[in-house]
Structure 1
Amino acid sequence: MIPEFLFFFFPMSKLQMLLFLVSIAFMIFSLKTYKRKKIGFFTFCFLFLGSLAVGVFSLKIQRLNAIGITFGLNRGADLIVYLSVMVLFYLIFYLLNTVSKSGTDLTRLISAMAIEKAFLENKAQILARKNSSPWDEFVFNVRVFNEERVLSQALDEMIEFGIRKFVFINDGSKDNSLSILEEKRREHPDLLFIILSHTINRGGGAANKTGYAFIRKYAELLQVKWMVGFDPDGQMDIKDMLAFQKAILKHPEADLFLGSRFIKGAKTLAMPRMRRCILAISRLVTRIFYGVRVSDPHNGYRVFTIPALQQITLEADGMHYANELNEQIGIHKLKFVEVPVYIRYTQYSLSKGQKNSNSIKLGFEMLYKKFLG
């Protein structure tokens, strides 16, 4: 309730008095926030002067009405409503930017700590290793988050196939995933098992950023020419590396080799119809917004040359990183070849992967990052 005595000193309607008091409160709030260096100068001016204008117009409502008429409005109050909506949108985007920046800074810190610790733990083995197999020139970047149900089997298949160098990013797993990785490392001391652990879960994009950064930094010491993106959830088939190897020999000029579920020779098992529709839409969106004509833009089975990896910069912590990767391909004009792969959908992999309902969220995130991020 507004004290009645105020109306004795300031004859006006209750709405005018409310607007006047709110404007003063916002002016004080913006000034204190700016002094505490919580907002920038532009934001301070926007809030302070906007609040001042509302306060002035609340005292002289006729002036507000006159301004409203110049904009084709019947009442000046309508102008305040429209301006308030604009301010609200501005504040929303400002908060989104602030939260995004804070998250990026946190991920950068966690990533740097994981990279430094992992290199110190594995430095002696890295320096002592000598390549003895064609597969030694490939290093696998493997994201791990609560994968204890399938992780051991996936690792056994990869090791049996002949893969010898791994960079695992344990993205804050709460189950026994880390213990499984450490056990496999003890069982196979002849293999390079590098484990980078995030202290808290940061998302698929953040895990890849950490793995990419480690491999970029130490590629020469690792004695590798290619990095392979691989998920241990049971969807990908390690035998498809033979198709990638064949494509590499056939196209030595290519920078990337992208796995695809939708080209000749590819196979899928039990792909949900809705997932197929969503991927078709993502293919169209990728062409429109990024100018990259790929048949399967969200397939994580990829092989990068190290020079190509050095050019790629990702920012997203979540699954939007796939869109960023497609954008980077277009920006740097990287040459790519698509390789047919076999993707198996199981109840487990579908529960671990992207939900269909998240596609709308990813779409909004893509638009925000593309035009406002």
Structure 2
Amino acid sequence: MIVLLPVFRPSFHLVELLMAVGDGARVVVVDDGSGTQGASIFDTVRERGGTVLSHPVNRGKGAALKTGFAHIAQTWPDSAVVCADGDGQHSAEDIRRVARHTEVTGHITLGARRFGSGVPLRSRFGNLFTAALFQTASGTRIRDTQTGLRAFPAALLPWLLTVPGDGFDYEMQVLLAAIKNGQPIDEVDIATTYLNGNASSHFGALSDSARVYRPLLRSITRRQ
């Protein structure tokens, strides 16, 4: 199992996750332009056997994922990859379950969160709205289009590098492109965790939302 963690200005949650995942997994961390902030954390990742790739400036989550995919495709070309957030949102158990599902099925696997009463109202509404818009755009229902916990079979790594997008929009572009290309997408239930009201998220409510919704609106226009 290759665990890919794109991070920007990480907290100690990153080291805790690395320890929880255990010795059976290779971990690749992409530092997306954190600068000096988090330098000691990245040193700890290296000391514990993880690989750290660095962008000199912040380029966006999509660019960080692509950097990781390119490295993994070259270094471990036959390995499936599970992408997760390094801020404590995803447990090691859920990461392993999502990864195993892809290893068994060869399908793209999404870790689907449950959006019950304990989830911030903004997140619940945003997820429901985005899921409905995605179904209109693609003709396919996916419960959690914005999850950061996703696993991909090794054969799809070169294709993932061709999908457009450098920011948070990249993950939406991947789902739309996968459905267009007939790639199976499965969902596996995972725990829903919001630490301090999701304060660690670097998602910009207006600017990043606009980038995420733009490809959906383009797809809806094409279907009409």
Matches within 5 A, 1:131-280: 138-159=1-22, 162-186=23-47, 188=48, 191=49, 193-220=50-77, 224-244=78-98, 247-248=101-102, 252-262=104-114, 270-280=118-128
CA distance in 2, matches of 1:256, 1:170: 24
Distance 1:202 1:245, change over 3 A: closer
Distance 1:358 1:275, change over 3 A: farther
CA distance in 2, matches of 1:241, 1:151: 14
Match in the other structure for 1:325: 174
Matched residue type, 1:285: L
CA distance in 1, matches of 2:52, 2:64: 12
In terms of fraction of residues, the more helix-rich structure is 1
Instruction: Look up the SS of the partner of 1:343 in the other structure.
Output: coil
Match in the other structure for 1:79: none
Q: TM-score, normalised by structure 1?
A: 0.53
The question of whether the paired residues in 2 share the 8 Å contact of 1:172 and 1:198 is answered with yes
The question of whether the paired residues in 2 share the 8 Å contact of 1:148 and 1:176 is answered with no
The question of whether the paired residues in 2 share the 8 Å contact of 1:237 and 1:343 is answered with no
The question of whether the paired residues in 2 share the 8 Å contact of 1:169 and 1:207 is answered with yes
Q: Relative contact order, CA 8 A, sep 6+: which one is greater?
A: 2
CA distance in 1, matches of 2:154, 2:99: 15
Instruction: Look up the SS of the partner of 2:172 in the other structure.
Output: helix
CA distance in 2, matches of 1:345, 1:237: 12
The question of whether the paired residues in 1 share the 8 Å contact of 2:94 and 2:191 is answered with yes
Return the offset for 1:360.
Answer: 4.7
Matches within 5 A, 1:3-22: none
Instruction: Look up the SS of the partner of 2:165 in the other structure.
Output: coil
Deviations 1:105-142 (A, max 9, x none): xxxxxxxxxxxxxxxxxxxxxxxxxxxxxxxxx11111
Q: TM-score, normalised by structure 2?
A: 0.84
The percent identity for this pair of structures is 24
Distance 1:198 1:368, change over 3 A: farther
Distance 1:329 1:171, change over 3 A: same
CA distance in 2, matches of 1:237, 1:277: 24
Distance 1:148 1:175, change over 3 A: farther
Instruction: Look up the SS of the partner of 1:344 in the other structure.
Output: coil
Return the offset for 1:353.
Answer: 4.1
CA distance in 1, matches of 2:96, 2:209: 35
CA distance in 2, matches of 1:268, 1:147: 28
- Where structure 2 has 5 or more consecutive residues not aligned to the other structure, the ranges are none
Matched residue type, 2:108: L
CA distance in 2, matches of 1:211, 1:369: 28
Rg larger in 1 or in 2? Answer: 1
The question of whether the paired residues in 2 share the 8 Å contact of 1:261 and 1:342 is answered with yes
| Aligned-residue CA RMSD (Å) | 2.7
Return the offset for 1:174.
Answer: 2.8
Instruction: Look up the SS of the partner of 1:208 in the other structure.
Output: helix
- Where structure 1 has 5 or more consecutive residues not aligned to the other structure, the ranges are 1-137
Matches within 5 A, 1:30-45: none
Matched residue type, 1:241: I
CA distance in 1, matches of 2:31, 2:61: 10
Deviations 1:321-361 (A, max 9, x none): 12101112112211122111112101273342425445652
Deviations 1:177-199 (A, max 9, x none): 2332223322x3xx3x2211101
Return the offset for 1:157.
Answer: 2.2
The question of whether the paired residues in 1 share the 8 Å contact of 2:109 and 2:185 is answered with yes
